[in-house]
Amino acid sequence: MPDTSLKTRNVILALATTALLSGCGATSKLGDWLRGGDESATSDAVIIGAPDAETYLAELYELASGDTRRQAAIYEDASSAAQLAPGPSSSLRLALVLATPGHANSNPSRAVTMLREVLEQEPLLTSGELSLATVSLLNAERLAAASGEVARLLDASQQAVRNEEESANRRVTAVEAENRRLREQLEEAEEKLEAITSIERTIREQQ
């Protein structure tokens, strides 16, 4: 079982890769922060109660690699903390959980909204939190867009199936109506034939 430092390095690598793929200016900021070369980090005021970046990253790694019970527990804890102790750090923690795919409570769209709100409180964030929020927002936006496209395609597919079913039902109804009409015509023809046969029989008997 990898230790916490290895877990943290793995998550850092994943976040850095996301940033590189995003092609955004946040890449250099994240890179400086990860290398410890961000000058602004040394001048940041200490924010009381704010977790360090390693705490967030360790939980994200555990969330990404844990079983469903542990994933649910992490979400419930983060959600409760955001409600009981609202603030940029607790909101960021919940947003990061929501932005992480692969568990039942993943919600990229909600994560996007929360991360944007967190970033509006930049003065209350540490440099590590700011970097995490920025990179996670880029990833969540892409996940939300992809989820929306999947939902749109699914709706379109389901609508196409419904349309085909309705069309098939209309064809079946039309065929059944035509069969009823033909049966009625056949019955009328049989009645006429029987009447003619009865008349001919009567004529022959009278002769």
Q: Each residue of 44-99: pLDDT tens digit?
A: 445 556 787 888 888 988 888 878 999 999 999 999 999 999 999 999 999 999 99
Residues 6+ apart with CB under 8 A from 125: 47, 50, 88, 89, 92, 118, 119, 133
Instruction: Give CA 35 to chain center in angstroms.
Output: 33
Return phi, psi of residue 121, to 5°.
-105, 40
Query: In this model, does residue 165 exceed pLDDT 70?
Result: yes
CA distance 26 to 134: 7
pLDDT at 185: 86
* DSSP of 35-101: HT--HHHHHSPP-TTPPPHHHHHHHHHHHHHS-HHHHHHHHHHHHHHHHHS-SHHHHHHHHHHHH--
Q: Quick one: pLDDT band at residue 34, thresholds 50, 70, 90?
A: very low
pLDDT above 90 as % of the chain: 28
pLDDT on residue 112: 94
Q: What is the pLDDT of residues 119-135, one digit of tens each?
A: 999 899 998 999 999 99
pLDDT band at 29 (very low <50, low <70, confident <90, very high): very low
> Using an 8 Å Cβ cutoff, are 133 and 119 in contact?
yes
CB 51 within 8 A of CB 126: no
Q: Is pLDDT at 197 greater than 60 in this prediction? A: yes
Tell me how far apart the alpha carbons of residues 114 and 91 are, in angstroms, rounded to a whole number.
7
d(CA 178, CA 70): 62
What is the C-alpha separation between 39 and 127, in angstroms, rounded? 10
Which two structure tokens, joined as six digits, stand for 55? 């705490």
Distance CA 128, CA 93 (A): 13
pTM of the model: 0.55
User: Which of 19, 43, 45 is CA-nearest to residue 31?
Assistant: 19
pLDDT, tens digit (0-9, with 9 covering 90-100), for 104-121:
899 999 999 999 999 999
| pLDDT for residue 178 is more than 90 | no
